[in-house]
Structure 1
């Protein structure tokens, strides 16, 4: 008794301006946090593409973040008068830069590549499908409602019809035929009398 209903909307490509805005937000978030929030764009990438590789990269960024925090915490001397050693500072700085550049570059590359494969949405929404009413019959068309304020439309005057040409009556045809016969008879009679005198 019931139809299939409406088809679920197919995932399509968001508008170009939306994609650019999202990319700018995620890149700024990564840069302003010195790479420590680099897991956020990787999480978005894993959700959007639903690929195992992107989920694994998301986990790797989190592990790198935790590792950098733990290393930095253990490298800081207990005495506040002592400074961080140059090698420890270099390891932390290189880890931050690798994570920062790696996350930004891979995020932009993978997301652009993913959305290139999706179809571009039409510029205007698609026309709605005709809705079927009770028992699968199409809806009844409603007559147009007259506008009481509309000016009446003047119809052009009909062109005068051409006068019909009278058909010659059949009597005339009969008279012509009789005259032709009479003419033939007179010619024969004229030849029989001697023709040329």
Structure 2
């Protein structure tokens, strides 16, 4: 089994002033050469980005410049007055204009992405679709977001019925009345005997 790939370190991009100066120099080379050196801009862009598409455009721009030079070289005289000459001039200036626009846009985009990737590497936050970070995940692709599992709340169970608390046994009321009545009878007998004893003592003393 192969281990996961490690992200390659991203070099710090040049300062903005240096990048602006380089862009001005390479564009000026193409413009002041009247388009004959337009391929120089594409050469620098292909070396910087190392993209196969930019190398293909470098070949196309070089071929267009060579073709325009050939068409102008076969033009008789110093003035352009044939179809081939006009076609060569149109091809030369059209290639120059398209190369300048593409070179500036691609160069700015490249170093902007490199700056984001370097900031992500330095400060630790994930870059947004950076083509400079390599690993097991494809370039510019984010891992699929897995939604959290939907948890069903447990159903609340109804409270179980509590068994009724038995009431304390109560003595029947008639038994209580009978007890009170018996106590009253005993008290009456006691008082009756006590009164009779006092009367007998009183008569005997007399």
- Normalization by structure 1: what TM-score? 0.51
Superimposed CA distance per residue, residues 111-169 of structure 1 (whole angstroms, 9 cap, x where no aligned partner): 001011112678xxxxxxxxxxxxxxxxxxxxxxxxxxxxxxxxxxxxxxxxxxxxxxx
Note the residue ranges of structure 1 that are not aligned, 5 or more in a row.
1-7, 123-197
**2:112 alignment counterpart:** 116
Question: How many angstroms apart in 2 are the aligned matches of 1:23 and 1:17?
Answer: 10
**1:103 alignment counterpart:** 99
Corresponding residue pairs, total: 113
**2:22 alignment counterpart:** 22
- 2:67·2:88 contact (CA, 8 Å) conserved in 1? no
Note the residue ranges of structure 2 that are not aligned, 5 or more in a row.
1-7, 120-206
Q: Which is worse superposed, 22-31 or 64-73?
A: 64-73
1:93 to 70, 89, 93: 89
> How do residues 1-197 of structure 1 correspond to structure 2 at under 5 angstroms?
10-74=10-74, 76-77=75-76, 84-119=80-115
Larger radius of gyration: 2
Q: 1:72 to 1:17 in 2, by over 3 A?
A: same
CA shift, 1:83, in A, is 5.2
Q: Which is worse superposed, 37-46 or 8-17?
A: 8-17
Q: 1:68 to 1:12 in 2, by over 3 A?
A: same
Question: How many angstroms apart in 2 are the aligned matches of 1:70 and 1:86?
Answer: 13
Q: What is the root-mean-square deviation of aligned Cα atoms in Å? A: 2.5
